[in-house]
Amino acid sequence: MKRLSDVKRIGYGAMRLTGPGIMGPPADPDEAVRVLQRAIELGVDHIDTSDYYGPYVANDLIREALHPYPPELVLVTKVGARRTDDGAWLPAFSPDEIKAAVHDNLGRLAVERLGGVNLRFMDDWEGSFEEQWTVLADLRSQGLVCDLGLSNCTPEQVKIAQDIAPVAMVQNAYNLAHREDDDFVDALAEQDIFYVPFFPLGGFSPLDIEAVNGVAAKHGATHMQVALAWLLQRSPNILLIPGTSSVAHLEENLAAGKLHLDDDDLQTLNALG
């Protein structure tokens, strides 16, 4: 099975395939299927998803659109949370819930092995998690998971996890405007651990496009392409999973991989952090 270490640097995040508030079905299910199929046509080999997107909507769409999957496709999910009927995000973090969530993702995606699983901490989580990580390590030993990662985590949590099982990736919020993880990105790069930023384009707080419009105009690109290109040039351990529910936007995001920012561009953009 292909490993995360073998994927291209721009993948696809499936969260935006769902309805408003990451709940329920998309407004245009057919377009959602087209987005996934077009992603594969354009060479995407890394899709990030979770059962709690929808809930279940994103995984069901992925299976509908792409199963049986191309052999090069790496499916990465995350566990540790659940959704309520009114859309709230709550922890589902007991060892039994973690194990059940992995098996649920396996079943929902119709795979025998997941390319990766991220253990996601709710905001400001400060409790122990060794039992939960040990559960994931055991599932990895059983061949049900290929790589393990942590999401919404701290450097100290990575150190604790590494003593139990290898951390292959970290998923935290990071983009041009939100740079709190600058030192963390560099430290992970030294350990050959991937950093997969969520909200690379700002997420629920979109980036200030005025700050990058000059660079975008210079290259005949969009501000979003510049933001993605900056991340790719920021550090070689960064993998991108920008999400969208539009084929046109998908193609635009993937084209950012061909955009090269020069030293003047980087100086301008680095000053935004």
Q: List phi, psi (to 5°) of 171.
A: -115, 105
Q: What is the pLDDT of residue 2?
A: 83
Residue 203 pLDDT more than 70? no
153 in any annotated domain: yes
> Whole-prediction pTM value?
0.96
Structure tokens at 127: 């409790």
Work out the number of other CB atoms within 10 angstroms of the CB of residue 126: 7
> Where in the sequence is the domain holding 180, given as residue range(s)?
4-205+234-245
Map tokens 């039994």 to a residue: 96
262 in any annotated domain: no
Residue 118 pLDDT more than 90? yes
User: Span 143-147, mean pLDDT?
Assistant: 98
228 in any annotated domain: no
CB-count exposure of residue 128 (10 Å: 0-12, 13-18, 19+): exposed
Work out the number of other CB atoms within 10 angstroms of the CB of residue 131: 13
| Average pLDDT of the chain, as a whole number | 95
- % of the chain with per-residue pLDDT over 90: 89
253 in any annotated domain: no
Query: Which of 207, 203, 198, 204 is CA-nearest to residue 241?
Result: 198
77 in any annotated domain: yes
Q: What angle do CA 226, 232, 233 make, to 5 degrees?
A: 90
Structure tokens at 3: 């490993």
105 in any annotated domain: yes
Q: What is the pLDDT of residue 124?
A: 75
Catalytically active residues, by annotation? 53
In 40-140, DSSP assigns E strands to 46-48, 74-79, 81-83, 89-91, 114-120
Q: What is the pLDDT of residues 227-256, one digit of tens each?
A: 999 999 999 999 999 999 999 999 999 999
User: Span 73-95, mean pLDDT?
Assistant: 96
155 in any annotated domain: yes
Residue 80, domain CATH: 3.20.20.100
Query: Which of 30, 27, 2 is CA-nearest to residue 16?
Result: 27
Q: What pLDDT band is residue 110 in, cutting at 50, 70 and 90?
A: very high
**Domains: count for the chain:** 1
223 in any annotated domain: no
Cα–Cα distance between 96 and 15 in angstroms, integer? Answer: 25
